[in-house]
C-alpha cells in the first residue's frame, strides 16, 4: 500500500503547456540554461529566451496558471502567469507536436 498522499503506479506526464511553462521558467531564472532546450525549441524561441530580460529582479517567480488552446492539429497556443515581487507576469508560447509525442516550443513572448 502506498503512503498517504502518494500515488501508486507510473507518473503520468501533465499537459504539455504545464511542462513547458516549468522549463521556460527554469531557463528564465537561471536554474537551467536555454541551451538545455536545444532540439526542443526552435531557433527563434531559443534566441528570444537567451536575449530576454525577465521583468522580475528580487524574487524567484512562482508559476500560477497555465492555459492552452488547440489552434490546429498538434499545435497549441499557450500562456502562463507567474508571480514575483508582488506582481503578476505573463509568458505566451506556441507548442507544436513533432509527430512523435514530443512538443517543441516554436515561439515565445514575455509580457512585463
Nearest to 91 by CA among 26, 38, 42: 26
pLDDT digits (tens, 9 = 90+) for 30-79: 888 888 888 899 988 888 888 876 666 667 889 999 999 999 999 999 99
Q: Is the pLDDT of residue 112 over 70?
A: no
In a domain, 7, yes or no: no
CATH of the domain at 48: 3.10.450.50
- Please give the grid coordinates belonging to residue 13: 506526464
In a domain, 1, yes or no: no
Q: What is the pLDDT of residue 10?
A: 52
In a domain, 10, yes or no: no
The strand ranges marked E within 48-97 are: 62-72, 75-84, 87-97
Q: Which residue has the cell 503512503?
A: 3
In a domain, 32, yes or no: yes
In a domain, 3, yes or no: no
Which range marks the domain in which residue 70 is found?
16-111
Task: Please tell me the total number of residues recorded for the chain in this structure.
Answer: 112
Q: What is the pLDDT of residue 57?
A: 62
Q: How many domains does the chain have?
A: 1
In a domain, 30, yes or no: yes
Query: Hey, which of 44-48, 94-98, 107-111 has the most confident mean pLDDT?
Result: 94-98
Contact 64, 43 (CB under 8 A): no
Amino acid at each position: 500500500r502506498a503512503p498517504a498522499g502518494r500515488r501508486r503506479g507510473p507518473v503520468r506526464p501533465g499537459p504539455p503547456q504545464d511542462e513547458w511553462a516549468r522549463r521556460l521558467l527554469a531557463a528564465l531564472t537561471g536554474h537551467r540554461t536555454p541551451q538545455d532546450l536545444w532540439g526542443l525549441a526552435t531557433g527563434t524561441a531559443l534566441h528570444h529566451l537567451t536575449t530576454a530580460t525577465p521583468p522580475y529582479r528580487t524574487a524567484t517567480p512562482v508559476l500560477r496558471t497555465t492555459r492552452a488552446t488547440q489552434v490546429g492539429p498538434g499545435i497549441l497556443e499557450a500562456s502562463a502567469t507567474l508571480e514575483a515581487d508582488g506582481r503578476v507576469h505573463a509568458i505566451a508560447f506556441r507548442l507544436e507536436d513533432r509527430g512523435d509525442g514530443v512538443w517543441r516550443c516554436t515561439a515565445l513572448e514575455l509580457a512585463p
